[in-house]
Amino acid sequence: MRTQTRPVNQQTGERRIRVLIAKPGLDGHDRGAKVMTRALRDAGMEVIYTGLFQTPQMIARAALDEDVDVVGLSILSGAHNSLVPDVISELNASGLDDVLVVVGGTIPMSDVDKLYQVGVSAVFGPGTPLERAISYIRDHAPGRDDTL
Amino acid sequence: MNGLLDRFLDGDRQALARLLSHVENETTLADEAMQALADRTGSAHVIGLTGPPGAGKSTLANEFVRQTRNSGKTIAVLAIDPTSPISGGATLGDRIRMLDMQDDDGVFLRSMASREQTGGLSLAAFGATMILDAFGFDIVLIETVGAGQDEVDIARLADTVMLVQTPGMGDSIQAVKAGILEIADVLVVNKADQPGADETVRTLREHVRQSTTSGWRVPVLAVISSTGQGIAELISTLEQHQRMTSQQVAFEETRRRQRLHYHARMLAIRELARHIERNQAGNPGWSDPHQLAEDMLNAFVQDRTGNKPTSSAKDHRAD
């Protein structure tokens, strides 16, 4: 287990979790994504929202440049079984295999296990209390140990 | 795996991204990295982009990046958004308007939360600019909300400052003319297809007519970011400004020295502030803040000169 988390201010011990909220694919329903963006910001995180209609490549590039700890995918189109594995393989190809991937949206219970198998850490379906998603991300944002 | 610095010097994008996080978090690793990279800075054209919210800065940046890439130059964009003073969190939304070239290796887009409550540009913005410069980008574009102290700080950080306005802001030009017009090297009237654009351009031209500091007459350019109209002229104007300033050796020297000095000043103040936080001593019975400040400074000096230093990158030098 790594104990060192993302870069921590040596003096203040401050650590800001950075989260990318992304809408992959062709679904235009972004209320959930925006609500999560706001909730995570209010929980003290730095949240980058990509906007709609993102390809897996665009999401991986944004996650790389922005050096996020967490990628949250919001999908209400039903295409999660193809989009999520694509995003995760793009993330891995960019060397981001330690990024925490969570999924929100309309995901049938029967698909949840499939998403876990491809590397998703948590699925937050409709009705998930914001507090649960926030504390999950806070507790599971990955560690890092960079050396100069 | 190699350390971040080696990977950075190899042009590894992830190492760049991670170093920027260290800079944001003001870690000792960041201090060491910046000391190692200082000699590699100074070749990028650092451009500041400021203006009121809603003026179309991100859309302008998007089009600016696209047309800059056509000329083959590489460009990094540092988009600074405010940190919530309540939660400490931030929403960084500039990527939304910059979707077009996210698969181009010659473009790097990084969102940064200001993390400052005073409204000024943070130490991290200066550090991040250094890092992006050292990575080798031809242009570093810093986009900031033009509010409060930002305006002054962006002039300290950037080689060239462009200020974006929109038509129909009426009296806001009055409000703007005192402070911000003085720091702008290029004035841009965006959304020039909207009513009142000509009027705005004319008013701004009148305002800048008198001021020709150091041989540069501040140009006023009308652009339409959403269609790209006028952006090519803007790019060549910014290049002209860079040529003009780099030819005037004295001017260029002064500018660089001021930036270095201001950056160093922030670092020094940070060290002092950290020292004070760590040693919150003092007699609770005191009522004289001046005496207390005197004691803080004395303790700092003593710590620095007498005892072993307890902070700063010096800790990690093998001596």
pTM, rounded to two decimals: 0.87
Q: Is residue A148 part of a domain?
A: no
Distance CA B200, CA B163 (A): 13
Distance CA B127, CA B129 (A): 5
Q: Is residue A3 part of a domain?
A: no
* Any A CB within 8 A of B24 CB: yes
pLDDT band for position B307 (cuts 50, 70, 90): low
* Any B CB within 8 A of A66 CB: yes
Tell me the residue type at B253. E
What is the per-residue pLDDT for B278? Answer: 83
* Any B CB within 8 A of A145 CB: no
Contacts with B90 from chain A: Cβ below 8 Å? 41, 46-47
User: B84 vs A67: CB contact, 8 Å cut-off?
Assistant: no
Q: Is residue A11 part of a domain?
A: no
| Residue in B22, B98, B272 to test binding to A, most A beta-carbons within 10 Å | B22
Domain membership of residue A33 as a residue range? 18-136
> How many domains are there within chain A?
1
- Cα B268 to chain centroid distance, Å, stands at 19
Tell me the per-residue pLDDT of B95-121, one tens digit each, with 9 for 90 and over: 776 656 667 899 999 999 877 645 457
ipTM of the complex: 0.89
Contacts with B109 from chain A: Cβ below 8 Å? 62, 65
User: B102 vs A9: CB contact, 8 Å cut-off?
Assistant: no
Selection from B177, B236, B170 nearest residue B197 by Cα:
B170
| Residue in B29, B37, B74, B99 to test binding to A, most A beta-carbons within 10 Å | B99
Question: What is the DSSP code string of B206-247?
Answer: HHHHS--GGG-PPPEEE-BTTTTBTHHHHHHHHHHHHHHHHH
Distance CA B117, CA B133 (A): 26
Q: Is residue A120 part of a domain?
A: yes
Sequence ranges of the domains in chain B: 1-40, 43-247, 258-316
Q: Which of B20, B99, B110 sits opposite A51 (nearest CB)?
A: B99
* Any A CB within 8 A of B11 CB: no
Question: What does pLDDT average to over chain B?
Answer: 84
CATH of residue A97's domain is 3.40.50.280
The upper half-sphere exposure of residue B89, i.e. CA atoms within 13 Å in the direction of its Cβ, equals 19
Residue B73 has pLDDT above 90, yes or no: yes
Residue B191 has pLDDT above 60, yes or no: yes
Selection from A85, A3, A10, A74 nearest residue A40 by Cα:
A74
Fold assignment, B43-247? Rossmann fold (3.40.50)
Tell me the per-residue pLDDT of B21-64, one tens digit each, with 9 for 90 and over: 999 888 889 999 999 999 999 899 999 998 888 888 889 999 99
